[in-house]
Structure 1
Amino acid sequence: MTVAGEATAGQSTVAGEATAGEPNLADRPTFRGTIVALGGGGFSMSETGESAIDDALLRMAQAAGVGDRRADDPRPHVCFVPTASGDSSDYIERFEAAFAGRAHTHVLSLFGQSPWDYRAPDMLGDMDLVYVGGGSTANLLSLWRRHGVDEAMALAADGGTILAGISAGANCWFAASSTDSFGPLAPLDDGLGFLPGSACPHFHGEPGREESFIRWIEQGRLPSPGIAIDDHAAVVFEDGRATSVLVEAPEAKAYSVDEHGGIRILDEHGQVAAVAEHERTEENFGTDE
């Protein structure tokens, strides 16, 4: 099934002017390439498979020009990496349904039942866009390192391939993150480190995400800057620096959290723009024993 569609009105970016004197999120580039981190949304959270953020990713992939193109077939090459879900067949089918007809679709599987199902990670270097699915951040990182996917990702990005991911697929790029890989929410500090600081997907979409993420950054259990991303929002990074915010729902936003727990909304250029409204109480923040 081919899912098409133009970006909807809900794809407006977060409004606001950057406050004078406020720093960019990533003052120290640690990575060369483009990364798009989705807090939630995309085809993964769409009943129809349609997504304004995915439409934007396809436009970026089209412009990347890494994969082989024929004059009569200029579609970009997009590879789905469902490691975090254990290579869920349903997830793969949803990806194929959302992107078929609009891109040459590929899947990097690390859970093949036979040697012939296995795909070498170096295939990523031939892609215009690599799209990492959600699931367990901890399992993803462990398997990627075992199979050399982390190195293949860095090489692909250096060659112009766009790296994107949702939830666990967003967490993985950062030095650290908030994850439910172990059941309850917990800080995880051994991310790939392509991006500095820490990430929190589903910031206002799942109970406990906001409170725990802010608390762990204040306590030093997660590094700052913290990048918190709502469902249906994404932050685009170029060479380690936030450059834009994409949203596909009016209420969706992305935020920066500093080492003191201060929350700032990011504007459409990825700059801190406004203090986010948040009523801090002992009840909603709790205490750690």
Structure 2
Amino acid sequence: MPVAAPQHRLALLGGGFSIDDDGVLDDWVLGHARTPRPKVCFLPTASGDAAVYVDKFLAAFGDRPDLVPSVLPLFRRELDDDALRAFLLSQDVVYVGGGNTANLLAVWRVHGVDRLLREAYDRGTLLCGISAGANCWAEGSHTDSFGPLTHLPDGLGLLPGSVCPHYDTEPGRRPSYRAAVAAGNLPGGWAVEDGAAALFTGGELTEAVTRAPEAGLYRVDPDGRGGLTERRVPCRLLEPSRR
């Protein structure tokens, strides 16, 4: 019997353990892991490997019997190149935290993590994250990495187009992202409100969900006349976690 090719999957999260207490979005994304007891690696690079962020991850995932959690620090890296590659390629889910998108990309490239994540993605590892951890997968993103909100035409490019996190839930996000897309500073893309999440398979949207009815996912594209179109994507409301 032929072996099925690995699926290329990634998820944009508008929530999770770092800002929500109910675990709904975390349970949803982990439910898409390729194994029933997945290895889940947290990358806190965008926060400078902040200890408080690592502690939150371990508090949320450390005692769960249905997964095998781990943390990959890069500011105090312990693994050599071979061990780093073996470790990342063994993960079923890579969960990237929020923080500074530009710094995250720079640090990953210094350590070769960008190449390893592409390899893991090609082998079927589910990639996901919130804020900077959502921005990083696209061709470009909307970010406050440099202070004021601006466009960043950089990313791993695993997801075509651009990403804007915290859409309509942080002041200035929506008009600034819309202006960047309309001006051609960013390609069209996905705007994620806090509380919503989206799964992509092979670069195509395959599921959109929300933990709160008011939170949504939007597709924003230039209209070819100097303006843009914005479409709210239907989202499935998730049930409360039974954990």
Report Cα offsets for 1:184-225 as digits up to 9, x if no partner: 00100011111111110000110000001011111111112x
Change (3 A) 1:125 1:116: closer
Q: Secondary structure at the match of 1:139?
A: helix
1:149 maps onto 2:149 in alignment:
no
Supply the AA of the counterpart residue of 2:218.
Y
Supply the AA of the counterpart residue of 1:263.
E
Supply the AA of the counterpart residue of 1:187.
H
Counterpart Cα distance in 1 of 2:96 and 2:29: 12
Counterpart Cα distance in 2 of 1:132 and 1:169: 5
Question: What residue in structure 2 maps to residue 285 of structure 1?
Answer: none
Deviation at 1:117, TM superposition (A): 10
Counterpart Cα distance in 1 of 2:18 and 2:165: 14
Deviation at 1:268, TM superposition (A): 3.8
1:43 maps onto 2:43 in alignment:
no
Q: Secondary structure at the match of 1:196?
A: strand
Counterpart Cα distance in 1 of 2:195 and 2:109: 29
Counterpart Cα distance in 2 of 1:268 and 1:210: 19
The TM-score normalised by the length of structure 1 is 0.74
Question: What residue in structure 2 maps to residue 208 of structure 1?
Answer: 172
Question: What residue in structure 1 maps to residue 193 of structure 2?
Answer: 230
Deviation at 1:101, TM superposition (A): 2.7
- Contact 2:210–2:235, Cα closer than 8 Å, also in 1: no
Deviation at 1:169, TM superposition (A): 0.3
Counterpart Cα distance in 2 of 1:164 and 1:213: 21
- Contact 1:136–1:180, Cα closer than 8 Å, also in 2: yes
Mean Cα displacement is larger for which, 172-181 or 121-130?
Answer: 121-130
Supply the AA of the counterpart residue of 1:221.
N
Question: What residue in structure 1 maps to residue 240 of structure 2?
Answer: none
How many pairs are equivalent? 224
Q: Secondary structure at the match of 1:251?
A: coil
Counterpart Cα distance in 2 of 1:155 and 1:252: 33
Counterpart Cα distance in 2 of 1:117 and 1:89: 22
Question: What residue in structure 2 maps to residue 245 of structure 1?
Answer: 208
5+ long unaligned stretches in structure 2: 1-6, 237-243
- Contact 1:41–1:51, Cα closer than 8 Å, also in 2: no
Report Cα offsets for 1:32-91 as digits up to 9, x if no partner: 6100011x3111102x3x321101122212xx03xxxxxxxx632100000000001110
Deviation at 1:122, TM superposition (A): 4.0
Counterpart Cα distance in 2 of 1:268 and 1:116: 40
Change (3 A) 1:121 1:140: farther
1:85 maps onto 2:60 in alignment:
no
Of structures 1 and 2, the larger Rg is shown by 1
Counterpart Cα distance in 2 of 1:57 and 1:244: 11
Counterpart Cα distance in 1 of 2:233 and 2:147: 30
- Contact 1:256–1:266, Cα closer than 8 Å, also in 2: yes
Question: What residue in structure 1 maps to residue 232 of structure 2?
Answer: 265
Which of residues 152, 158, 167 in structure 2 aligns to 1:194? 158
- Contact 1:233–1:245, Cα closer than 8 Å, also in 2: yes
Highest relative contact order (Cα 8 Å, sep 6+), 1 or 2? 1
Supply the AA of the counterpart residue of 1:45.
I
Q: CA RMSD in A?
A: 1.9
Supply the AA of the counterpart residue of 1:228.
A
Structure 1 outlier segments of 4+, above 4 Å: 114-119
1:52 maps onto 2:24 in alignment:
yes
Q: Secondary structure at the match of 1:43?
A: coil
The TM-score normalised by the length of structure 2 is 0.87
